[in-house]
Amino acid sequence: MRTLPDRRAFLACFSRLGIASALFPTVLWARIEEEKSSRVTKEMLRSAASVAGQSFTDAQLDQLMVAVNQHLAEYDALHKIDLDNSVAPPFYFNPMVPGTAAPGLKIDRSKRPFQMSAPERVTRPQNLEDVAFWPVTRLAELVRSKQVRSVELVEMYIARIKRYNPRLLCVVTLTEDLAMRLAREADKEIAAGNYRGALHGIPWGIKDLAAVKGYPTTWGADPFKDRIIDADATVVLRLTQAGAVLIAKLATGELALDDVWFGGQTKNPWDLSMGSQGSSAGPGSATAAGLVGFSIGTETGGSIVEPSGICGVTGLRPTFGRVSRQGFMTLSWSLDKIGPMCRSVEDCALVLNAIQGPDDQDLSVVDVPFNWDAKLDIHKLRVGYLKAAFSNTHQTAAVDANDQAALEKIRSLGVNLVEVTLPPEPALSVSALITAIIYGEGNAALKDPVETRPERLVRQDRVVHQNSLRLLPAVEYLNASRVRTLLMQQMARAMSEIDVYLVPFDYADYTPNPVATLNTSLTNLTGHPCVVVPHGFNEKGAPTSLTFIGKLFGEAQMLALARAYQQATDWHLKHPKDFS
């Protein structure tokens, strides 16, 4: 007769019954402790069925009792296999559904030259710190023309980090030794005429979900605060190859949740009484405060969009499958995405060009060229706007005015805006899908430390919620994925008539815009790209933002329209006065 190995094995056996209630563990584990049973009994199964809202006959319970006890041994054998977070299942989400090769949905796979805008003539200011908020395109000209050395930029940004990070809590680890070595190498190469491109010598920071050889990779979680992964993430390798200089690992909300990590809450430079949202809290805060030239964030359900919008930076969430996640913490294999958070749209294009494309490590990445052309004729684009989101009454007067002004500004550029609607699935279905998929995959990906060291985590609400879904049945996860397919098909049809559409930012003034929030969840599920750009300020002087949604692998067109809007305004040139 087999004894139960521990509470985890007991919990696992009931997933077969479709039980996902948070009440179940306390009810049934107490029953086991009372009876000191060495196996799952018929009464335990009857209680489990009652908690799950199901019923079985005595004959069915007799059969289930045999099967469940047998499966306990099988589950126990699987539990003995050490599965690191980096081990992915052998199947990959593909955002392209049948029909994407049809007219109006075809993915452009032809590769064309990367076309930047004409370089801006720049002059080194007397005080180098005056360039702290310059976009990469301007910083690059200083470096290329040898008016400024990379070492000087690194020293300037690191001094700002040391001065301001105690207030912002946006940096987890300074990579100062690495940065100085890379900067010296960059200066030597540039002096010898070996200029690698616009990112050469530019200091940057990365969300601390990414592995950087020789430095801690904490995931914002106390159990990992001293852990060193002896490897570099693909994105780190590619930016290093482009000549960029990594100066800091930036804060992430604990295990990619919100903006609270083991060091505290990362602050918004525009309002230090507020967090910078998450989980790319550090990249949003550091970029907005002028502590890095640009940064890298990640998104599963809104973690680039939200901190970018609240901190007033330009944040790009690429198409799912555009950028390799190799070397990053996995929260959800079918939802995680990596993208740049910068001070201008063209900065995002520069960084995306360096990091995108297959690496033979993350097999979800698709080989589709990114054909950026700063001179693309935006008048040829079919542009829509999500009228329901712009008609929302939950925002303040200033936010509503900024939304309407942005639409009028885009119309003034000669762009005809047409109304678009989201797929008909209700918000509840989208929320249920996000929950089932993120936590279905996240429960497997983050067993350590959520299950093994939960007492050391700051966000105990995360532990409770994840535990409540620990027993998500496989059939429910698969059915959620099938509903996701329906949404993807509906979205493909909706996008067949347009190239880009506009939607307000989700959380203006930290107040949800329900339609915009639904849009963020929906487009994360379908894998579509978006870019968030600042478009004004609210009554409190905090940034407000606008989101551009593109077609799958349509970043070039989406960014071209966003850049045209940004060139016609100056919101992206504003920065928080307390950090200037």
Catalytic residues: 207, 279, 303
Dihedral, 292, 344, 200, 295 alpha carbons, nearest 10: 40
- What is the DSSP annotation of 132-179? TT--HHHHHHHHHTTSS-HHHHHHHHHHHHHHHHHHH--EEEE-HHHH
Q: Which residue's entry shows tokens 């880009």?
A: 500
Taken in order 267, 271, 273, 278, the sign of the CA dihedral is negative
The distance of Cα 89 from the centroid of its chain, to the nearest Å, equals 20
Answer yes or no: are the C-beta atoms of 486 and 424 closer than 8 Å: no
Answer yes or no: are the C-beta atoms of 457 and 403 closer than 8 Å: no
Q: What is the helix (H) or strand (E) element at residue 436, kind and residue range?
A: helix 427-445
- Region at 144 (left for phi over 0; alpha for psi -120 to 50; beta for the rest): alpha
Interatomic CA distance for residues 237 and 440, integer angstroms: 30
Q: Nearest 5°: phi and psi at 391?
A: -95, 0
Answer yes or no: are the C-beta atoms of 333 and 445 closer than 8 Å: yes
Burial of 576 (0-12, 13-18, 19+ CB in 10 A): buried
Give 108's contacts (C-beta < 8 A, 6+ positions apart): 368, 369, 371, 553
In three-state secondary structure terms, 503 is strand
